[in-house]
Amino acid sequence: MKRRHRNKKEPSRVIRLWTRDEAKKVIPYLRSLVGSLREHWLDVQFHVRQAALLGQRPGRKGRDRILAEQLAEANTERADSRFQDALAELSKIDVFLLDPVQGLALIPFRKGDDLGWFVYDQFDRRGLVGWRMHEDPLEQRRPLKLLDETAAT
């Protein structure tokens, strides 16, 4: 009888829950970080596309083409490394990237006994554009004003 190896699960970790005031104070930092993530993501996509186009060219691979493909792969790896570094920095503060192209991130907070998320939008001058409960669809945005009203009751 063979022994079954249990899959080692990653240890769970407790995420930081933000207050609204703390989330407002971190907006300038998020503008910089999410902006960098967006640029790095677009850079990765550009280099992936460049490498794909090089690979699709008809004909025999010559020295120049092989070098160009290697350069494209190296550029892709560098761009991806920058993206992963910025994503790790965001993760350290327990903010979660939702969409790098649209510049959306989620900031966890406590809503009663439930988990809520402030929605950060890179392209909105306010930064925080709404909130959602954890169970809500990702597209759902509740007005921050509604959060104020429910907190008062």
Decide if pLDDT at 108 tops 90.
Answer: yes
The Cα 41–Cα 136 span in angstroms is: 26
**Domain edges within the chain:** 20-152
pLDDT band at 152 (very low <50, low <70, confident <90, very high): very low
Decide if pLDDT at 138 tops 90.
Answer: no
The Cα 138–Cα 124 span in angstroms is: 18
Cβ count within 10 A of residue 35 = 14
Give the tens place of pLDDT for each residue, 32-82: 999 999 999 999 999 889 888 877 767 777 788 788 888 888 989 999 999
Decide if pLDDT at 99 tops 60.
Answer: yes
Return the higher-pLDDT residue of 12 and 3: 12
pLDDT at 153: 37
pLDDT band at 23 (very low <50, low <70, confident <90, very high): very high
Region 110-115 average pLDDT: 91
Q: Tell me the three state secondary structure of residue 119.
A: strand
